[in-house]
Amino acid sequence: MNEKPISSPTLLRYLRNIFGVSEINNDIMRSSYIKWFYSTERTMNDKEKLSHQMRHSVETAQRNYLKVNTENNCDELKDKVTELQFENKTISDKINNENINSKLYNKRKRDVLFQLNKYNRVVRETTLKKYNIHFDKGLNKYI
């Protein structure tokens, strides 16, 4: 047996033969090992030692290789999303159903008109529609 180190292409060929996966590469193996390593309870010293060997920081490993497992709390997240969507719809309905004759509605409309005409501010199209504001070319201002 010769004393030469195994070359990268040879190691890759061995991995592909062992696992029977032609797409496997060194990056996949590196990522798999780091994910496995971090999934087990390790001390900070162990993590720093591995990070030094892999030539990255512990923070890089935690940011790039550790992913949140959402399988266990997927139903919980779906319920929360549904709840938030309902809340959003309720709030939107309250905003959209604001009484057009109310003092607050009229004050806000005046404020928007003042900002548009005095300071040439840009407002959202939805705001213009909500307060039925349009630009009058004859008067050269928003009304």
Are 26 and 12 contacting, i.e. CB atoms less than 8 angstroms apart?
yes
How confident is the model over 110-137, as a mean pLDDT?
Answer: 90
C-alpha–C-alpha distance, residues 143 and 135, integer Å: 6
pLDDT higher than threshold 70 for residue 119: yes
CA distance 117 to 135: 10
Please report which confidence band the pLDDT of residue 70 belongs to, taking 50, 70 and 90 as the band edges.
Answer: very low
Q: Which of 34-48, 87-101, 105-119 has the lowest mean pLDDT?
A: 87-101
Residue 127 has pLDDT above 70, yes or no: yes
Q: What percent of the chain has pLDDT over 90?
A: 11
pLDDT tens per residue across span 86-100:
888 777 777 666 666
Instruction: Report the pLDDT value the prediction gives residue 47, as an integer from 0 to 100.
Output: 87
Q: What is the pLDDT of residue 31?
A: 85
Write down the H helix ranges in the chain: 8-19, 26-39, 44-54, 58-65, 74-96, 103-119, 125-130
* pLDDT value for 1: 59
Other C-beta atoms lying within 10 Å of the C-beta of residue 116: 19
pTM: predicted TM-score of the whole model, two decimal places = 0.40
